[in-house]
Structure 1
Amino acid sequence: MNKPVFRPDPATGRLSEKNSKKYFSIIGLALFAFVVASYASSIGVAYLFAKFAPHLYHNFWVNTVISLVCQYGIGLGASLIILSRLPKDTNPSEDFGAKSFFMALCVVFAFMWAGNFVGNYVTSMLRFLLNRPVQNPVAVMIDGNAWWMNLLVYAILFPIIEEVVFRKIFCDRLLPLGEGYAVFVSAGIFGLVHGNFHQFFYAFAVGIIFAGIYIKTGRIRYSVIYHMIINSTGAVLLPVIYGKIAHLLSTEKLTELLNGITSSDVAQRTAAAAELSPVMGWLIAYWLYSIATLVLTILGVVFFFKRMRKNRLREGLIPPSKDGKVANIFCNVGAALAISVSVVIFTLSLF
């Protein structure tokens, strides 16, 4: 397969509208191939296990290996064949100082909670419109696992792989067009591959910051570290806290006791406090976590707007045509296929 040549028009210094759409079409086809190959191989392997080794079908480690092989072996392999037709670019490497690292961490938390809020709101609306529960796939994945299993897989292994794929591989192919395209298109891809409404907005939001950090520093390790931190809170820390509390008190009982300690009746307050004493340490841990994330989120909003003007997104070596900017990205064969298959998968995730 011959590689297409993407040269800017000497008169404008930009790709023609036709070549712009062609470039984005290849990106879309790569995403389409990734999703279809991943899901098709997963279904095939799951069928074989269910038929010939049903006792292994629900094993955590077996499912983890299947997921890795199907997504990042078969799916990524199909995607890389298509992406190999595009040029690559990277920015010079820069180190983060302690101050910059902390500021970026705060911004990550701000975007994480913004995306999480939107995702929860959309899920609530869908639950109301459909008049049925909509499962949170994250809760399903981590539920019942030992904390160290979630730590190893969801807080260490997946962040490394996902950052290499969605930041390093996709961003490097989008960077020739410009930093803005690399940031927002790669974040959109990251959101879509999660395959459900609950995670899309969350993944898209943090994907923007992870991509921005990678592009501005030229180092994948920083986005990997931030990814590990937020996954550790969601997949390890909070489930441990919730699990310890739920082991001793039901949600209804906990709500009743928390209302009791705010009662004006001294005897009721004393009785509620006594019953809460076995989980008080875990409640304090949760409150401290909530306060810490609230502070980091507020600081993140401040830092983001403070630094936004300084961190302008630069154009690439072959910027797309200015005519029909949105149409260039979405009105092409590759994007149409990628969006169509994503709509199907997102819809199926509701049932």
Structure 2
Amino acid sequence: MEELIFRKVLIDRTIVYGDKAAVVLSGLLFGVFHGNFHQFFYAFGLGCIFAYVYIRTGKLKYTISLHMAVNMLGGFLSSLLLQQLNYSAWDTSDPYAYIDMMFNHAGAVLGLVILEISMIIMGIAGLIFFAVSAKKLEWRSGEYERPFHEMGGAMFGNPGMMLFLLSGVCLFVLDML
């Protein structure tokens, strides 16, 4: 549903303001939708990447596949490995019991370490790929593209957008409490 809303519906309606505006708006709203600062920044970045992929290919199946891969690695697989750890048993002052726990959960701990190292490597590789490819990105103008200082009013100056952003800010505040 997120890809349908934030890529298909949103981009198809905002592409008239140009590719850059559609990509940034899609990424921004995708980040706000996640409702907390922990996810906002990476969701914004991924939302921009997914938006660019959708604009260039016109295929929602690519962004859905990318989104599923991110959720599988960062959500499902890490949660599955974390469930293997019995946190209450780790709360001990006995160093021998602690070492025993490490060996009892060695598979889950090793899996988490491998997953995290892999994600860091993929993130660095992605940043390098982006830096090398940034000059090759193609940005098309839109039919109603405006100067940068006028875009805010065009995109955020309506009641629906204001309500969405206000809801997002409220979620951020509630998450911090």
Q: Please give the TM-score of this superposition, normalised by the length of structure 1.
A: 0.45
Which residue does 1:175 correspond to in 2?
A: 15
Task: Please tell me whether residue 328 in structure 1 is matched to residue 153 in structure 2.
Answer: yes
Answer whether contact 1:180 1:313 (CA < 8 A) is retained.
yes
Q: Give CA-to-partner distance per residue, 1:112-154, whole Å, 9 cap, x none.
A: xxxxxxxxxxxxxxxxxxxxxxxxxxxxxxxxxxxxxxxxxxx
The separation in 2 between residues aligned to 1:222 and 1:311, in whole angstroms, is 18
Task: Please tell me whether residue 288 in structure 1 is matched to residue 128 in structure 2.
Answer: no
The separation in 2 between residues aligned to 1:196 and 1:323, in whole angstroms, is 27
Q: Which has the larger radius of gyration?
A: 1
Identity of aligned residues (%): 30
CA drift at 1:232: 1.3
The separation in 2 between residues aligned to 1:235 and 1:177, in whole angstroms, is 34
Which residue does 1:238 correspond to in 2?
A: 78
Higher helix share: 2
Residues 339 and 164 from structure 1, CA distance in 2 versus in 1: closer, same or farther, beyond 3 angstroms?
closer
- How many residues align? The count is 176
Q: Amino acid of the residue matched to residue 235 of structure 1?
A: G
Residues 272 and 195 from structure 1, CA distance in 2 versus in 1: closer, same or farther, beyond 3 angstroms?
closer
2:59 pairs with one of 200, 216, 219 = 219
Task: Please tell me whether residue 319 in structure 1 is matched to residue 159 in structure 2.
Answer: no
Q: Give the gaps of 5 or more residues in structure 1.
A: 1-160, 258-267
Which residue does 1:149 correspond to in 2?
A: none
CA drift at 1:165: 1.3
Q: Secondary structure at the match of 2:27?
A: helix
Q: Give the gaps of 5 or more residues in structure 2.
A: none
Q: Give CA-to-partner distance per residue, 1:312-349, whole Å, 9 cap, x none.
A: 32112x13222723443466243444433433343344
The separation in 1 between residues aligned to 2:69 and 2:80, in whole angstroms, is 15
Task: Please tell me whether residue 166 in structure 1 is matched to residue 6 in structure 2.
Answer: yes
CA drift at 1:284: 1.4
Q: Amino acid of the residue matched to residue 242 of structure 1?
A: L
The separation in 1 between residues aligned to 2:156 and 2:110, in whole angstroms, is 52
Residues 347 and 245 from structure 1, CA distance in 2 versus in 1: closer, same or farther, beyond 3 angstroms?
closer
Aligned pairs for 1:244-323 within 5 A: 244-246=84-86, 249-250=89-90, 252-253=91-92, 275-316=101-142, 318-322=143-147
The separation in 2 between residues aligned to 1:277 and 1:338, in whole angstroms, is 48
Q: Please give the TM-score of this superposition, normalised by the length of structure 2.
A: 0.83
